[in-house]
Structure 1
Amino acid sequence: MSLLVALPGLAAAQEAAPARDATTLDTVQVTGTRIKKAEIESQVPVQTLTRDDIERTGLTSIGDVVQELTGAGSALNTKFNSSGNFGFSPNGDGVGAGSAQVDLRHLGPKRVLVLVDGMRWVNESSASGVGAATDLNTIPLAIVERIEVLEDGASSLYGSDAIAGVVNIITRRNFDGGQITLNYGQYGEGDGELKGFDAAWGYNTDRANLFLGLSYVDQDPVFSRDRELSRVPVPGLGVETGSSATPNGRFIITPATASTACPLTDTDDDPSTPSIPFCNITTPNGSSFPNGVRYPQDFIRFTGANRYNFAEQNMLLTPSKRTGVFGQFRYHFNDNVQAYVKALYNRRESVNQAAPEPLFLGLDAGTGNPWSEHITVSRLNPYNPFGFDLTTEGANPNLVLIGRRPVEGGPRIFEQEVDTKYIAAGVEGSFDVGDRTYFWDVNFASNKNEAEQTNRGSYNIRNINIAVGDPAVCAATPGCVPLNLFGGPGTITPAMLQWISPIVRDRSEQKLQTFTANLSGDLFEAWAGPLSFAAGYEYRKYEGFYSPDPITVAGYYNGTQSLPTQGEYDVNEAYVELNLPLIKEGSFGKSLDLSLAGRYSDYSTFGGQFTPKYGLRWQVADEFLLRTTYAEGFRAPSIGELFGSASRADLQLSDPCLISITGSPATGNRANCAALGVPAGATQANSQISVQTGGNPDLEPETARSFTAGFVYSPAWAAGVPWSDKFDFEVTFYRHSLEGAVQAIDAQTQLNLCVQTLDPTYCGGITRSSVGGINSFENKLTNLGSIKTSGWDVDFFWTLPETSLGQFKVSWQNTFVTQYDAVGAAGQVQPRRPGVEVNDSAIPEWTSNASLSWKRNAWTASWTIRHISDMTEICQASALDSPYCDNPVTGDNKLDAITYHDLQVGYHIDWLKGLQITGGVNNVADKDPPVCLSCSLNGYDASTYDIPGGRFFYLRADLRF
């Protein structure tokens, strides 16, 4: 990977660039400034991934490529099996199942601005909400010429949501001839097959150039059951950490009389009240009773051995098919005016899979759905083995929990179809005024994402409620068939399934229309050089909606009711950027430049805001550059964050008031837990707790301040000498500070603070059943107090002289995160910090990428090393007995550092314009990721590490003609 560290007279890439004439230099455009001047290319730190850099990764997704950058944080990708229990975002804006996002500086994907050729790209459509981030899987990698990544605040240059930085994807343009590329890859275990086909064709004349591209990628899945690490819910433990919703069923009731299966129990911790019978029972594992079960003879006590291993049905890598067509045409009317038009269509077809959907019914159902919490299993139901009503109603409710998993209906399948349509047109040119040249451009773009998600294997809880109730009511309801929840696997018939299992279809859409006009050039000659400027106007209109299935809107879906979301807003913005030379060559160095920029944004939802940026660039010598920037920014809440309706996220939480599912004692203050209505000895039924998320119309914009400072050193003593052609060394310090960040308080933190303080601020959204379990948990978005993060980027690039052994190049890039503090509006310290894994995301203190590339005649090779430093996590209560939990007393677990090695070899054949054959292996040493006991999926952090058993082999053939 190369870095834009251009100095006057020095090339920006790692190899010497061909000489360019002055006119070409004057029209250079680079991410990080709107002024078209080569002399200020290195004003800000911009990391550039060339086409060669991208191909060296062996990856086929832009998202996967940028997620390997050292400054990237945790973000969704196809390793997240993100539907099912994990199907909604804690941010209330939906989860883009099958998407790939980018996070910079660990500030979240919604704070990264994604551009394509300098123009904004539309936000994702997820079919589960109106997202605030960009799905990079909507942009085919095959059309990319390079990717430029700006990792400092750039709101003043590009708009409010560039708080964490900018990813600018530059498409291929000047391409002459044709190219066909075939890709094939597979994991060493024989799964996860990847097939790809790219075709490109370009034609250039004196006045016009045309580029057409076609891309197809087909990624097969990898299942959790096929890797040792991910076969069970908690690595190192068996099914005892699984779900209490089992094919045989778990039944917690209070019958009239005691029995062996239901002994007398003091359920309310009050010695003055008598003990009552309490059943926590199931049918024997592996048994089914097609003729009905009998109570109490056919029941046994429910233990950890009776739980269900839901992990086997998950995916480590989700299947994805992506087809994209792209074209652009550019015509030069004369030397000063040219016009362009470009268009793209991309379709993504992806699938997520989760275990057969669990049914939780009763006081302790914890779903937040009244149909599952207000229910009666009639004594007249032909499949009720108890002979009395099981009910949550009345003065003496006796139904605490039914946990039944209808495996007869198969796993939950979530199929996404996402269509992206983009068209842009513009005119650009230049004109002279005296001896000065001015550049102008006018652009329009329309971008739309449409998504539909089809869900098979979920259930209609209202129909279930009717089917277990009074048979007379069921008989009077068209289509109703009495439901057998007690007979064990195989006893839910196809007729029963037809009544309770619908096909659920959700839709969402986002639109973005953009108009921009820009002007740049030199205003006048100042004492140290020309005062350069860029100025412009931008108009944007955002529209989005989320349309859930009618049964979800009605509250019949087996989960939290979700209502439609719809909203729109527009933005008018004007900006100006100035570059003023303060000192020209003399005793203070070669030059000192001051850059000033400001943008005024007027939002139809929040009014106006001004964001400034200041920068200094001191060229001390030809080989040494100092630079610093300070920027302010703000980000207005997105459509989903403002208007998103309530939805459900099933999160891995430990209830301090309850005994864990593996028997670990409750850790919360006993008196406080009693005040919350939790009886002593109450047990947490499941480690997944349903949390209601959603938008908040009272949100305010978040504000930000960003600071960078650093240097670039390209020593003359390491240039053009026997041991070195070129050597570059770059160091950058960064600091970002956000106030009023739009974010929900960490759910585990909220629960812990509720138990510790009984403060309504934390407890107001949490309610409990009469037996102590959480049955509703509201965790809506707020304006969090602050997020502060800082760190260092340290990069080296070394090009060795070409010899008889060939030519070698070395690059080594590092990011050190020294601070990350998040504090809630009321002072709640959030758990994320450097070196800590929490909520399926990590902030490593040190990430490093090093690569050695070699070229000799027709041969090429590369060796890439990716390092992630060690981290710690808090073991969930259900995982304290795992051998992977280092300290069960404190609950701390260490995730060891890991180093991945990737190798690639290529050979060039002189056939037509060239045939390049390339083969490679990623994760050569077959390193498994460190076990994560707090992660929601598959026992590891899918946004940080390669999949377990992840040695990946690939082969690519690239023919040019």
Structure 2
Amino acid sequence: MRFTTIFNGTGLLALATMLAAMPAAAQQVAAPAVTDSTGDEIVVTGSRIRRDPLDQPSPVITVDAESIQRTGLSSVADVLQRLPSAAGGLNSKVNNSGNIGNPPDGGGVGAGSAEIDLRYLTAKRTLVLVDGLRFVNGASASGIPSTVDLNTIQVGSIERIEILQSGQSPLYGSDALAGVVNIITKSQQKGLKASAQFGTFRQGDGHTQDYNASYGIQSPRTSVVFGGSYVKQEAVRTRDRSISQFPNPGQTSCTDPVGGCSSATVNGYVQLTGPALTIKTPPILGRPRYDAANPTGPNSDFRLLTAADRFNFSPYNYFLTPSERYGFFVSGKQELTDSINLRVKLNYTKRNSQNQAAFLPLFVGPDAGNGNLLDTISIDATNPFNPFGYTLSAGGAGNPAANYSTVRRRLVEAGQRTYTQHVDTMSATATLDGSFDAMGRKFYWDANAVIGFNDAKQLFTGNINAARLAQALGPVSRCTDACVPFNIFGGAGSVTPAMLAYVAFDERARSSQRLEDYTANISGELFDLPAGAVGIAAGYEHRVQFGRFTPDPLITAGLGADIPAQPARGQFNSDEIYAELRVPLIHDTPLIKSFEVGGAVRHSDYSTSGGNTTYTGNALWKPVTDLLLRGSWAQGFRAPSIGELFGAASRSDAPIDDPCTNVAGSPYRTSPSVRANCTANGVPANGSYQEPNGGQLGVLTGGNTALKPETSRTLLFGAVYAPGWARDSGFASQLSIEGNYYDIKVEDAIAPVDAQLTLSRCAQSGDALSCAAITRTPSGLISRINAQLQNIGGIRTKGVDVTAVYRSPRTSAGIFGLSLNGNVLLKYTETFPAENGFTTTDYRGTTRGFPDQSYPKFKGNAVADWDLGLVRASFTGRYIDSVREGDGSKLDSTFYGDVQLAFSPAWMEHRLAVTIGVNNVFDQDPPACTSCTGPNYDPTTYDVPGQFGYVRLSWGL
């Protein structure tokens, strides 16, 4: 493996911290500095001016193709999410559909897609480029995301990935607040390269097939590379891992005091205006009359609900979601003249993926909290399965007063809820580039056009048509033609196929995104100063983006029993110009081997949010040849995305607790002021309210056309030490140590106010803004929490990145290498507006729970490798520091170890290689987490439980 860093940096001070915290280890690596075919300096991510990659102003780590193969992973996102500077994001371990609904970010579930999030600032603040150009955003038929789906980038097409770990909006425009991920694809290759890999977990599940092939043709003036890939990842189910057998870690039964099992029981549950009741089996088929004041009397088939009746939904989810991806790519270069080139690239990917949830929890009644027709259904006395002899009224205009709260039934007859996505993504680029001489100088230019689309379809099975259900539960005289009276009070199996056929439907949704991006750039040297040439770059960009989300018409009409949604669409166009300058000031003087300053400016004009100008400045100082010091200051800018502006309101079911519930240990019982504030918010003063939903409350989030752009300020200081004596003495072929300190401040950050914080503010202090965002039913139940996107106070994060690389000279025993990479998180806070000022929450050293995200104080990776030529071996260690949940529970520090061994015979000129590897060789389980929305652990930070082994056969140099 090759691990070199494209130096830029901040602070040797963190090296001691990194080494002391080992056993960290890692997969991220960096390729050697790259030059063009003539050996000239080139453009590297972090600067538009051609320069030596070792002397550029921003911290960049490069992951080459060999390093990707060393991970044994089949997704670019999974590789990048192992970077210590990465925070997580969507991946194949996240199974949100039907479990928590649409995340409160305006972008939809994104089921089956994968993202990269740098600095914990969320994926929407990390810009993803492909070959330095924009790539179309992904979608999964659940919203309009503002992020690129990395699963649409085929691993076999990648030459290297450059990760700029600093915001650079002045150079790259909107979205680059946290950093830039630039995926460089293959442009030259000779002959065939191919690989076939099969992997599986030791438990016998999660089988993964990964096939890649590419072929390159080269002639003096023409170069063509084309290839394809196929990846099939099978599921890992929660029922097959001990950590996820019940809703809480360590739970063995729904009767355990910790609770967590669902009140949507298999046999059904009805809550009248009096006691809470549940149906006994066998189901009631007649219409015996019961005393309404005591339906659990001696002749009744009803009894009070117990914990044993609750439903354990945990074994019915995915730990690892199944996915199938295939596609092809073509890259061609034609020299039109000695100084002009035409380059074209095409990438197409098809993704078939699936998410899964337990059987539909059907909630009917005024306290059901669906926000649609299901909340208004009355169950008529003439329904042949109504055992009460009177109508269960939901109240409302023209109806008797409500006399029941909810009827709940786990609809096992309809099978598990499944969400199947079919996604097509295509991106085509055309580039003219070349050079010309002017004023005795050489200038380089390029003009680019990008056209991309992403189309997604999703099929959801297991939903219910609320209008038909209302008819099937209403007066029997109106249940005519195809209508079949519905038995909502019977036990499991009482819903017949005929009943189900009438009320069930397959939900179909679609989404699409379009991108047109046109850019032109020029760079070169203006004139010479005593210390060197003054470099300049400038350019123009015109971009058009369009997005649309079209839910099923029945969902649009409010007639579904799952997460509601409304259609949304929007577009924007932008025009941007930028310029970058590099000025060398001092060269070859005492204590100043070189000193230069630079900067950039960019003006952006968006049709949706107006104009914005950002600036950056930097300084690079080499006291001696082997030591580089640098610092930079940069402004950032992110325009609101289409989903954030135009996305319709949609619900997420947050696994949070209502502080107003009257149960043992709740704030309602322990604090008189909380009781008073809850009563003022609509909780019955008699103390009758107890939260029935098992800790899931509906949060309504939607777009906001009044949003302003986000802005940021980034400070960066760093140092790189690469001693020449180590190479000259034969101690190392490569030795470098780098440290980077960063301080990022985001203002007017676009986000909803945290729902749990809203509840706490209202209950604890009676905050008027927070209480106004909470809507309760007459019984006190929360029907929704309004969390519309807004420009909140801000986000602040500080930290230190450290990198150390050693590589030995070639010896008779081979080449030995060691690379270390770590991140020390010094601060991460979010500030929200309150009635009288702002509230700041510190997340450093904690796990968030909803949405899942952990903020360890330290993450580190290390790779030790040995290359004998015939045999190559490596050990990768990954360390994640401990974090704490909101209740103070500790998630212990976690260490993962990965091993790989490759055999490449010399008699085949090392073209053929056989590789075997095991990820998580020590069989380390993720730390159990009670507050996490994932299956009792944080899937954005930790691995799926179990050892994953793989074998790969590859061909080609």
The two structures share one fold, judged by TM-score above 0.5: yes
Contact 2:463 2:562 in 1 (8 A): no
2:99 match: secondary structure: helix
Flag the 1:6–1:699 CA change in 2: closer, same or farther, 3 A.
closer
Counterpart check, 1:860 vs 2:869 = no
Contact 1:517 1:536 in 2 (8 A): yes
Contact 1:251 1:279 in 2 (8 A): no
2:316 alignment counterpart: 313
1:532 alignment counterpart: 535
The one-letter amino acid paired with 2:889 is N
**1:193-230 CA distance string (max 9 Å, x none):** 00111111001111111000100000000000000101
Contact 2:285 2:385 in 1 (8 A): no
Contact 2:160 2:185 in 1 (8 A): yes
Flag the 1:16–1:451 CA change in 2: closer, same or farther, 3 A.
closer
Q: Distance in 2 between matches of 1:828 and 1:460?
A: 43
2:260 alignment counterpart: 241
Counterpart check, 1:899 vs 2:895 = yes
Q: Distance in 2 between matches of 1:725 and 1:395?
A: 85
Q: Distance in 2 between matches of 1:32 and 1:640?
A: 28
**1:369-405 CA distance string (max 9 Å, x none):** 2x12222111111001111111121564211121111
Number of equivalent positions? 911
1:305 match: secondary structure: helix
Q: Distance in 2 between matches of 1:944 and 1:467?
A: 46
Q: TM-score of the superposition, structure 1-length normalised?
A: 0.92
Counterpart check, 1:943 vs 2:948 = no
- Name which of 207, 215, 228 aligns with 1:201: 215
Counterpart check, 1:68 vs 2:69 = no
Flag the 1:848–1:588 CA change in 2: closer, same or farther, 3 A.
same
Q: Distance in 2 between matches of 1:656 and 1:489?
A: 34
2:408 alignment counterpart: 403
Give me the CA root mean square deviation.
2.1
Contact 2:873 2:899 in 1 (8 A): yes
2:843 alignment counterpart: 833
Flag the 1:368–1:19 CA change in 2: closer, same or farther, 3 A.
closer
Q: Distance in 2 between matches of 1:181 and 1:293?
A: 69
Q: Distance in 1 between matches of 2:659 and 2:66?
A: 52
The one-letter amino acid paired with 2:565 is S
The one-letter amino acid paired with 1:872 is R
1:54 alignment counterpart: 68
- Superposed, 1:87-166 pairs within 5 Å as 87-166=101-180
Flag the 1:427–1:722 CA change in 2: closer, same or farther, 3 A.
closer
2:954 alignment counterpart: 958
Contact 1:661 1:684 in 2 (8 A): no
Range 396-405 or range 566-575, more displaced: 396-405
The one-letter amino acid paired with 1:246 is T
Counterpart check, 1:182 vs 2:196 = yes
Q: Distance in 2 between matches of 1:170 and 1:20?
A: 14
- Name which of 915, 918, 922 aligns with 1:918: 915
Flag the 1:346–1:841 CA change in 2: closer, same or farther, 3 A.
same
Flag the 1:341–1:642 CA change in 2: closer, same or farther, 3 A.
same
Contact 1:292 1:487 in 2 (8 A): no
Q: Distance in 2 between matches of 1:242 and 1:828?
A: 36
The one-letter amino acid paired with 1:37 is R
2:858 alignment counterpart: 846
Q: Aligned-pair distance for 1:671?
A: 1.5
1:655 match: secondary structure: coil
Q: Aligned-pair distance for 1:291?
A: 6.1
Contact 1:241 1:304 in 2 (8 A): no
Q: Distance in 1 between matches of 2:556 and 2:401?
A: 32
- Superposed, 1:622-633 pairs within 5 Å as 622-633=625-636
Flag the 1:16–1:845 CA change in 2: closer, same or farther, 3 A.
closer
- Name which of 270, 278, 281 aligns with 1:251: 270
1:775 match: secondary structure: strand
Q: Aligned-pair distance for 1:133?
A: 1.3
Counterpart check, 1:670 vs 2:675 = yes
Contact 1:464 1:483 in 2 (8 A): yes
Counterpart check, 1:685 vs 2:692 = yes
1:457 alignment counterpart: 462
1:77 match: secondary structure: coil
Counterpart check, 1:339 vs 2:335 = no
2:769 alignment counterpart: 761
The one-letter amino acid paired with 1:248 is N
2:16 alignment counterpart: none
Flag the 1:652–1:954 CA change in 2: closer, same or farther, 3 A.
same
Q: Aligned-pair distance for 1:636?
A: 0.9
Q: Distance in 2 between matches of 1:156 and 1:92?
A: 26
1:903 match: secondary structure: strand
Q: Distance in 2 between matches of 1:804 and 1:557?
A: 70
1:5 alignment counterpart: 6
The one-letter amino acid paired with 2:846 is V
2:61 match: secondary structure: strand
Q: Aligned-pair distance for 1:805?
A: 2.0
- Name which of 215, 238, 263 aligns with 1:224: 238
Q: Distance in 2 between matches of 1:308 and 1:31?
A: 52
1:584 match: secondary structure: strand
1:593 match: secondary structure: strand
1:414 alignment counterpart: 419
Residue ranges of structure 2 left out of the alignment (5+ in a row): 9-27, 291-295
Q: Distance in 1 between matches of 2:532 and 2:379?
A: 85
Q: TM-score of the superposition, structure 2-length normalised?
A: 0.92
The one-letter amino acid paired with 2:691 is Q
Flag the 1:20–1:250 CA change in 2: closer, same or farther, 3 A.
closer
Q: Distance in 1 between matches of 2:30 and 2:60?
A: 17
- Superposed, 1:493-642 pairs within 5 Å as 493-559=496-562, 561-642=564-645
Q: Aligned-pair distance for 1:279?
A: 2.2
Q: Aligned-pair distance for 1:727?
A: 1.6
Q: Distance in 1 between matches of 2:664 and 2:421?
A: 34
2:38 match: secondary structure: helix
Q: Aligned-pair distance for 1:801?
A: 2.8
Contact 1:126 1:451 in 2 (8 A): yes
Q: Distance in 1 between matches of 2:682 and 2:666?
A: 20
**1:748-794 CA distance string (max 9 Å, x none):** 00111121233331122211112211112211101010101010001
Counterpart check, 1:798 vs 2:806 = yes
2:884 alignment counterpart: 872
The one-letter amino acid paired with 1:933 is T
The one-letter amino acid paired with 1:445 is V
Q: Aligned-pair distance for 1:15?
A: 11
**1:895-925 CA distance string (max 9 Å, x none):** 1110000000000034376111101000011
2:724 alignment counterpart: 716
Q: Distance in 2 between matches of 1:453 and 1:906?
A: 40
1:585 match: secondary structure: strand
Contact 2:379 2:474 in 1 (8 A): yes
Flag the 1:721–1:292 CA change in 2: closer, same or farther, 3 A.
farther
Q: Distance in 1 between matches of 2:699 and 2:53?
A: 53
Q: Aligned-pair distance for 1:48?
A: 0.4
**1:235-273 CA distance string (max 9 Å, x none):** 12232421101111111103xxxxxxxxxxxxxxxxxxx
The one-letter amino acid paired with 1:446 is I
Contact 1:661 1:683 in 2 (8 A): no
- Superposed, 1:417-428 pairs within 5 Å as 417-428=422-433
Q: Distance in 1 between matches of 2:573 and 2:861?
A: 40
The one-letter amino acid paired with 2:427 is Y
**1:448-467 CA distance string (max 9 Å, x none):** 10001110011122222221
Flag the 1:53–1:14 CA change in 2: closer, same or farther, 3 A.
closer
1:78 alignment counterpart: 92
Contact 2:383 2:474 in 1 (8 A): yes
Counterpart check, 1:486 vs 2:489 = yes
Q: Distance in 2 between matches of 1:249 and 1:339?
A: 67
**1:382-434 CA distance string (max 9 Å, x none):** 00111111112156421112111110000001000110011111110011124
The one-letter amino acid paired with 2:890 is K
1:457 match: secondary structure: strand
Q: Distance in 1 between matches of 2:663 and 2:675?
A: 15
Contact 2:225 2:330 in 1 (8 A): yes
The one-letter amino acid paired with 1:442 is A
